[in-house]
Structure 1
Amino acid sequence: MDQIRKFIDHISPISDSDWDFFSSKLKEVPFHKNTTLLKTGKIEQHLSFIAKGIVRLYIPKEEADVTFGFLFENEFVTAYDSFLTQTPSEYQIETLTETILWQISHKDLQEVYKNTTIGNIIGRKMAENMYLRKSKRELSLLSQTAEERYLSLFSDRPKLLKQIPLKYIASYIGVTPQALSRIRKRIT
């Protein structure tokens, strides 16, 4: 739980009383590798902090899943659109490794916003962070080649990417596994 406190303090210092209230709402939940955290059509009920592990966001397709996000240790994960609107998700979330999450329910988070002085500030800054990550992803798809997207992803998380199957990386950068193989050969 210290990881979350440090993460939040980095965003905006949190008082001990606000931390005590917020942390009382958190639940530590371990998950096995390849566990589905949220299925398409289900409503996201949790905002989760990844204490350990790697998580993938994707759209399931018969021919091949479309991966559009990876989240790592010390990041928050949720189907944010579903979480905010409490409507069914159009995508799925799964663990790619053994994962430990600290989760807070939608209902409990609303209580944190209502009963703490810092909750709304942290919520706003987290929403801004998610927007910036989404915007960066969209811009990379529109302005970079697949090779540039791969190099960017690899430079950001070189050790962690070794744990992600290449078919998911290929999907994430928008190419087939065969095209990713050619990109990797050109680079090495």
Structure 2
Amino acid sequence: MHKIREGFEQIVKLSDLDWQVFSSKLKKSVYNKKATILKVGETENHISFIEKGALLFFIPKLENDITFSFCFENEFVSAYDSFITRNPSTYEVKALTETILWRLTYQDLQDVYNKTEAGNVIGRIIAENLYLKKLRREQSFLNETPEERYLNLFVERPELIKKIPLKYLASYIGITPQALSRIRKRIF
């Protein structure tokens, strides 16, 4: 939990009372590799902090699933659209590795917002960061070739290249694994 507080303190100074309120509501959950965290049709009820592991966000399809996001250690994670609207998710979240999450329920987050000075600031900053991550991804599909998207991963998200199987990377940048292999041969 120390890393969570450090992350918050980069955003806003937390009083000991605010931290006590927040940390008292966190619950630790451990998931095995390939465990499903959230299924299509379930409503997301948690915002989580990843202590250890990597998560995959994807839309299940009959032929090939469509990967659209990854999250790693020391990041906050949620099927945020489902979380804030309280509607069922249209995608799934899966653990790519053994994963440890510190989780906060929707209701507990509302309590944090109401009982702490820093809660609303932290919530706003997390929401803004999630929005910017989504916007950058959308713009990359509109402005870049698949090869440019792949090369940008080396700069923007080097952990993807190291930790993610190629089939998920290919889907993430919008191409087949075979096309990614051809790009990699040209580059290296």
TM-score (norm 1): 0.97
**Following the alignment from structure 1 to structure 2, what is the Cα–Cα distance between the partners of residues 77 and 152?**
22
**Following the alignment from structure 2 to structure 1, what is the Cα–Cα distance between the partners of residues 88 and 43?**
4
Percent sequence identity is 59
Residues 12-43 of structure 1: CA deviation (Å, up to 9, x unaligned): 11111000100000011111111110000000
Greater Cα shift, 18-27 or 7-16: 7-16
Aligned to 1:14: 14
Aligned to 1:81: 81
Aligned to 2:36: 36
1:180 aligns with 2:180: yes
**Following the alignment from structure 2 to structure 1, what is the Cα–Cα distance between the partners of residues 83 and 22?**
18
CA contact under 8 A between 2:44 and 2:88: conserved in structure 1?
yes
Aligned to 1:113: 113
Q: Secondary structure at the match of 2:163?
A: coil
Q: Secondary structure at the match of 1:162?
A: helix
1:165 aligns with 2:168: no
Aligned to 1:65: 65
Aligned to 1:23: 23
Aligned to 1:127: 127
CA contact under 8 A between 2:153 and 2:160: conserved in structure 1?
no
Residues 93-124 of structure 1: CA deviation (Å, up to 9, x unaligned): 00101111110011101100011111111101
Runs of 4+ in 1 over 4 A off after TM superposition: none
CA contact under 8 A between 2:160 and 2:169: conserved in structure 1?
no
Distance apart, 1:162 and its partner CA: 2.6
Greater Cα shift, 158-167 or 20-29: 158-167
**Following the alignment from structure 1 to structure 2, what is the Cα–Cα distance between the partners of residues 70 and 57?**
6
Distance apart, 1:159 and its partner CA: 4.7
1:101 aligns with 2:101: yes
Aligned to 2:92: 92
List runs of 5+ in structure 1 lacking aligned partners: none
List runs of 5+ in structure 2 lacking aligned partners: none
Residues 133-161 of structure 1: CA deviation (Å, up to 9, x unaligned): 11000001110111111111133343553
Pairing of 1:39-58 with structure 2 (within 5 A): 39-58=39-58
Amino acid at match of 2:138: E
Q: Secondary structure at the match of 2:42?
A: coil
**Following the alignment from structure 2 to structure 1, what is the Cα–Cα distance between the partners of residues 78 and 14?**
22
Residues 63-95 of structure 1: CA deviation (Å, up to 9, x unaligned): 100000011111111100100011100010001
Residues 29-63 of structure 1: CA deviation (Å, up to 9, x unaligned): 11111111000000001100011111011100001
- The 1:160/1:133 distance shift into structure 2, 3 A limit, reads closer
**Following the alignment from structure 2 to structure 1, what is the Cα–Cα distance between the partners of residues 135 and 159?**
24
The alignment covers a number of residue pairs equal to 188
